[in-house]
Every structure is written in structure tokens, then in C-alpha cells.
Chains A and B, each alone.
Chain A
Amino acid sequence: MTAYFAGIDVGSTMTKAVILNDGVVASVIGSTGPEQRRLANKVMEEALKRAALPFAAITYVVATGYGRINVPFADAQFTEITCHARGIASLFPEAKTIIDVGGQDIKAIRIDGAGKITDFVMNDKCAAGSGRFIEVIADTLGIPLNTVGDLSLQSKNPAKISNICTIWAQQEVAASLAQGIPIPDLLAGVHRSLTERISTMVNRLRVEEAIVVTGGGAKNKGLLKALSEQLGHEILVPEEPLITGALGAALLGKEMAQRAKLKDAPLKTKERILEEIEIF
């Protein structure tokens, strides 16, 4: 009998869900918005709909992400670090260094040949060290976020942004714009500034190829190019970077079931109720 496993990644800006058995049968990226965390169950329901499965058919549910605690429809919760590592290792067996560039934080994870985590480092203390930095600058320049990466690639002469405080950098960019510095150059400068900080953090681990970048930042070609240059290595990117956490969570659930089977022990599940998350 095919067993199904689900992973739910309740992030700071959106919730993602993955259902799999031998392969992925459904994956959903929920919408953003202030209520998205509370309404994570809706994303789970959408995934079940796409997989044409009732909730009871899911053997094990693992939650991860910022809102992973208190998910009423999960059996267990693990950190995004463990889940991203699992997810990426399954997509890229050769991966040794994983960088998750999120909107609010950035994580770097080292895994060994067997996909096991050996070290990690994260930055979640400051907007200037996250994808938020790019968002704020894009907003300042009045440019849609999904175009800044490509635009930055047009630059022939990246500007030097010396301020790392997001607010001051905004000022600096606005002033530079008024002085006639072309937008692609400003954007390239901003990307370079962020990737310098990312690579400083990443270099605290022993960087080894293959390097995989995931998270929202992985969709930004300008960021990828700048990061690759900073690290001095090639970078791989999954087809859908936003779901690697949920994928890893589901895979973890599958592993736990397999382990229980091997030990001939029961798989400890919880009483799961598919309803809204209570936010305290």
C-alpha cells in the first residue's frame, strides 16, 4: 500500500505544502498576506485537493518554518535548517553547501556526502542581511521586485553602496539616483552589497561544492550571479526554490516511518485536526 507523507512550511511571508509518496504528488505555494500563517490549513487543504486525497490518508505530517510550533494538523516539527538540508540533498545528491536566501533571514548549511548536517549558521537579526534589503531598495526605486535581478544584470559598472543599514542605504540609493547613476548600476551595487554579507556569513563554514541556493532569493538571477562571483564557485538552483523546506519536511516524515518499520515499533503520531493555527 502506498503511504503518503506531507510537509508544511509555515514561513514568515507564505506557507508551502508538499505531499509525496515515492515522488511528489502535489505541491502548493500559498499566498502572502497578514493572515497566511493562521490560515496555513488552507494551503494543506489545497494540496490534498490537488493530490485527490483525504487528510486521513496522510501517514505522517511534519511542520517546519517560522510558524512550525502549534500546528494542530502536524505530528512533529523540525527546523527549516534540517528540512531544507533534507529537501536539497534529495534533489542534488552532490550538494555539500546550502544557502537559503529568505525574505527575513539567511541560512547556510553544510552537509556531508550522506546528506547529514555538519554545521550551520544563520542571520536573522537585521533587514540588511536578508532578502528584505533588496525589497526595500526596489520599493524605493519603484521597480517590481521580480524584475530587479534581471535589470541588475544589465549593469556595466556596479555602484558602490557603502551603507549596510537598510534605511541609510535607501537614502544613499535615492541620492545616487538623483545624481544620475543608472538604475541597473544601483541595483547591481545593492545586490553586490547583500551578497558580500551573505558570503561573509557563508564563509564561516567551510564552503564546499556543490553549492545550492534556495529560498526566494534563488529566483533572483542578479543575486545568483553576484553570489557566485563572491564565493568564487558555481551555484546550483532547484526548479522551485520555495518548496524545498516543505519537501524536506515530508521526506523527514517518510524517514521516520521507515525507521519505525525497521525497528518494528509503532509510528508515534498525534491527534491531528485540520484547522487554523491558533496565534497567541
Chain B
Amino acid sequence: MNGREKGILDTVERYYKDYGLRAKDLSAEGKKVIGYMCSFVPLEMITAAGCIPFRVRGNIHEPVTTGDTLLETIVCPYYRSCFDLSAKQKYEFLSGLVIPHGCDSMVRSYSVWSYSLPFSYFHFVNIPTVCAESSFEFFGAELNTFRKSLEKFTGKRITDDDLAQAIRVHNEYRDKVRALYEFRKADPPLIAGSEVTRVLTVGSSLPIGEANALLDQVLAEIGRREKTLLKKGPRLFIDGACIDNIELIKLVEEIGGNVVADALCNGARDHFPHTDVGGDPVDALARRYLGKINCPKTYRENKAGTFEGDTATRFGDIGAYAKEFKVDGAILYVYKYCDPFGFEVPARKAYYKSIHVPLLHLEDVYSGGTMGQLRTRIQAFLEMIG
């Protein structure tokens, strides 16, 4: 094995296992690291403010304890874990936290977070649920409110140029992630799904400049791979909300499948859509986050008048990915208590059927302890499509 390859992927492994290592150092240097959850937080705004956006993670191997004394157990289990870790001071290096209107779990627990955690900066960004022209107008105003609150926090103005620059740099990252996904198109893929998830997870913990540099090195390394380390197997697509760890994907790989594409937060959902450049940057951000991110939380009007037309509009990007990455089957991975995804299960199932992609629907809680049950289902699914 080439010494350099050991280098960058080793670094990724280190930052993945000791999550927040770099952010801790930066915070000690006096940089303002701002935690966030969910694809809807406009990261460019945080970067433009001179702060570092840091994606808060949970830990599926750590039982929720402290968090339960303050937060009900009926919230999203992933979110519950994030809160538990925060309450246990795992993220004490953060200067603040930004929570968007992603879902009820986030909205309804905002007071719990903002009153019980000791950060000096908290902000809630209200994201519209519908996608009308007036929604973009409203969202733009809401983004400017977010901008003002960051200016107050940092004591520094955020100019339109700052935003334009941040947009450019974040778009670069999105391009690099797209390039990384290209390596998944080979059969078998040149890069494992678990490797991709590790890289993207680490990327969301670094300042965007460093994340770009990391991706450059990773792309170079994978580009140097002459042959893949993976074996041929069923090519799988993972559909769901946020999977911030490699356990599920690793399990699939152990059983003989290759995860080649996804529609996950911390995956294609977050990283594929670009922010438009030129023109008003706040409007561009509003259009990207509300219009381009495809999440069940955003209500897309049924303009077709038929169910088939409706699902094609809502899930068409999945069909495109399935074709592009030559997918053999898909796993729909939904957390218990998740309303946005939960209510879409019948429609998503029907859609996958319509594009002739076999689907395994898994409902899970956020815990390492369920891997045994998942193993049987995933293995049976691979046996079924294999």
C-alpha cells in the first residue's frame, strides 16, 4: 500500500472516529465554530460571517441518558442522540448552535436546546414548508434576519461580496463531492459506500476551505486506485434522512452489497444542488435551500393531478440517480417517529415499484443494538434480488 494513500484516508478515519478534533483546535485558537443540524441550515451564511459551520452528530453506540431528563423520547431518535451528546458537553467547543425549521422534533425542542445548553449564540431559522414565489420572498427576509443575528454575534458586517465568495467556495465542495460519486459508477465501484460516508461526515466538521483541500486529496488518492478493493455484488441505493455513521452501510457491504448512490442528508441531498451565482446572493440561497433540496419536509404541490405524476415530481431525482448509478435495489431507511419520511413511505414504495427498483423498507431507532435485526432483513433482501 502506497504511503500517501495511507495518509489521507488515515486522516479521514481519525477525524471520523474522533469527531470534532479539528474543530476543537480551531475553537481553542479563538475561531467561532457554529454547530448545526439538518440540510436546511444555510452554511454559506455562517462561512460568510467568518465562522465555521460544524455538523452536530449523534452516536449510535451511546445510550441516551442525560438527554432523556429534559427531552421526550418521542422525538426523532437521531436528534435525541445529538441532544444527549450536547447535554453531556461533547460539543462544548462550539460557540453557538443554529437550528432550522426542518421538522417538528427540531421546532418543538428549540426551547429545550436553547435554554439548557450553555452556548452564547442560538438562532432558529424558519424554513417555509411550501414552495410558492411568496415563500422565496419570505425566506429571503428570514435569511437576512439570520444574517443580522450573525453580524451582531461576530460584530462584523456580512457583505454581499462575502456571501458571493462563500457561495463560490461551497459550490466548489459540491463539485468535488459530485466527482467523488463518479467513482461509484464503476462495477464494482472504485470507492466503498462506507468510505464515501466517512469522507462526507468528516467534511462537514471542517471549515469549507479545509474540506475542499481534503476532498482534493481524497479524489487524487481514489483516482490513483488502479483496481478496486471491492467485490461485485448487488448495487444499492440508500434513501432516507440523516445517516451520520457508517454502520448501516458497512453492514450492507459485509453481506455482499455495494452502496453506490443515495438520497441522504450528508449525502446527495445536501451536496448535489448548487447555489446559483451572480445576482442577489440571499435570493440564490433561498432558492437553493428551499427550491433545490429535495426533502419530504418541503411540500411540493401536485400539479399533475394524478398520483403517478405527483410521485414522478416528488421523487424524480431518485429515478435519475437509479439510472445514472445503475442501481439493482434500494433501501428506504426511516427513523421511528419521523413524520416527514414516515408519511411518505406508501408513496415512495409505489414510486420505486414504478421504476422497477426492488425496495427494502427499514424502520429503525438510532442505536447500534438493532444491527442484528437489520442484518437479517438486509441479507434476505440481497438474497431476494441477487
> Is A79's CB under 8 angstroms from B373's CB?
no
The reply to whether the CB of B384 lies closer than 8 angstroms to some CB of chain A is yes
List residues of B (7-62) whose CB comes within 8 Å of A's CBs. none
Once the chains bind, are A81 and B373 in contact (CB under 8 Å)? no
- Report the nearest A residue to B349, measured CB to CB: A204
Near B by CB (< 8 A), chain A positions 207-257 give none
- CA distance in complex: A124, B375 (Å): 12
Contact with A along B365-386 (1 / 0, CB 8 A): 0000000010011011101100
Q: Which residues of A contact B380 (CB under 8 A)?
A: 79-82, 117, 120
The one of B373, B377, B381, B383 in contact with A78, judged by C-beta atoms closer than 8 angstroms, is: B383
Q: Is A122 an interface residue (CB 8 A)?
A: yes
Contact B373 A124 (CB under 8 A): yes
- A residues 72-125 near B (Cβ < 8 Å) are 78-82, 116-120, 122, 124-125
Nearest B-chain residue to A121, judged by Cβ: B361
Q: What mask results when residues 117 to 159 of chain A are scored 1 for a CB within 8 Å of chain B, else 0?
A: 1111010110000000000000000000000000000000000
Across the interface, which residues of B come within 8 angstroms of A82, CB to CB?
380, 383-384
**Is B377 touching A122 in the complex (CB atoms < 8 A)?**
yes
Q: Which residue of B lies closest to A116 (CB)?
A: B384
* Residues in B169-187 with C-beta less than 8 Å from chain A: none
Closest residue to A118 on the B side, CB-wise? B384
Q: Which of A80, A117, A124 contacts B384 (CB 8 A)?
A: A117
Interface residues on A, range: 10 to 19
A199 to B188, CA, bound (A): 40
CB distance from A222 to the nearest CB of B (A): 28
Q: Which chain B positions have C-beta within 8 A of A125?
A: 373
Task: Give the complex CA separation of A221 and B289 in angstroms.
Answer: 57
Which single residue of chain A is at the shortest CB-CB distance from B364?
A125
Give the complex CA separation of A120 and B380 in angstroms: 9
- Identify the closest chain B residue to A82 (Cβ): B383
How far is B382's CA from A120's CA once the two chains are assembled, in angstroms? Answer: 12
In the complex, chain A residues whose CB is within 8 Å of the CB of B381: 120
Measured between beta carbons, the chain B residues less than 8 angstroms from A118 are 384
Q: How far is the CA of A140 from the CA of B205 in the complex (A)?
A: 54
Cross-interface CB contact of B376 among A116, A117, A119, A122, cutoff 8 Å: A122
Nearest-neighbour CB distance to chain A for B243, whole angstroms, equals: 20
CA distance A119 to B380 in the complex (A): 10
B residues near A117, Cβ cutoff 8 Å? 380, 383-384
Q: Mark B265-304, 1 if CB is under 8 A from A, else 0.
A: 0000000000000000000000000000000000000000
**In the docked arrangement, what's the CA distance between A118 and B381, Å?**
9
Q: For the complex, what is the distance from the CA of A82 to the CA of B383, rounded to whole Å?
A: 7
Complex-state Cα separation, A190 to B244, whole angstroms: 41
CA distance A80 to B383 in the complex (A): 11
A81 to B375, CA, bound (A): 12
Chain A residues within 8 Å of B383, by CB = 78-79, 81-82, 117
CA distance A109 to B191 in the complex (A): 34
**A120, B358: Cα distance in complex, Å:** 11
Cα separation A118 to B380 with both chains bound (whole Å) = 11
Would you call B384 and A120 a contact (CB within 8 A)?
yes
Q: Contacts of B377 on A, CB cut-off 8 Å?
A: 122
Report whether B373 and A80 are in contact in the complex, using a CB–CB cutoff of 8 Å. no
Question: From residue A120, how far is it (CB to closest CB) to chain B in Å?
Answer: 6
CA of A74 to CA of B380 in the docked complex: distance in angstroms? Answer: 18
Complex CA gap A81/B373 in Å reads 13
Near B by CB (< 8 A), chain A positions 36-87 give 78-82
Specify which of A79, A81, A116, A119 lies most central, judged by the most chain B CB atoms within 10 Å of its CB. A79
Contacts of B376 on A, CB cut-off 8 Å? 79-81, 122, 124
- Give the CA-CA distance A120 to B361 in the complex, in Å: 10
Report A252 CB to chain B, min CB distance, Å.
Answer: 9
- Nearest CB of chain A from residue B344's CB, rounded to whole Å: 15
In the assembled complex, the CB of A88 is this many whole angstroms from the nearest CB of chain B, namely 15
Interchain CA distance A78-B379 in the complex, whole Å: 8
**Nearest Cβ distance between residue B17 and chain A, in whole angstroms?**
23
CA distance A95 to B108 in the complex (A): 49
Shortest B126–chain A CB gap in Å is 36
Interface string of A166-192 (1 = CB under 8 A from B): 000000000000000000000000000
- Bound: A125/B379 CA distance, A: 18
Residue of A nearest to B373 (CB): A124
> CB-CB < 8 A to A124: which residues of B?
373, 376
What are the residues of chain A within 8 A of B384 when measuring CB–CB?
A: 81-82, 116-120
Residue contacts A-B, CB under 8 angstroms, 16 given:
A78-B379, A79-B379, A80-B376, A81-B380, A81-B383, A81-B384, A82-B383, A82-B384, A117-B380, A119-B384, A120-B380, A120-B381, A120-B384, A122-B377, A124-B373, A125-B373
Q: Please report A residues at the B interface, Cβ cutoff 8 Å.
A: 78-82, 116-120, 122, 124-125
Residues on B close to A: CB < 8 A?
A: 373, 376-377, 379-381, 383-384
Q: Using A81-B380, A122-B376 as known contacts, list a sample of 6 further A-B pairs with CB atoms less than 8 Å apart, ordered by residue number in A.
A: A78-B379, A78-B383, A79-B376, A79-B379, A120-B380, A122-B377
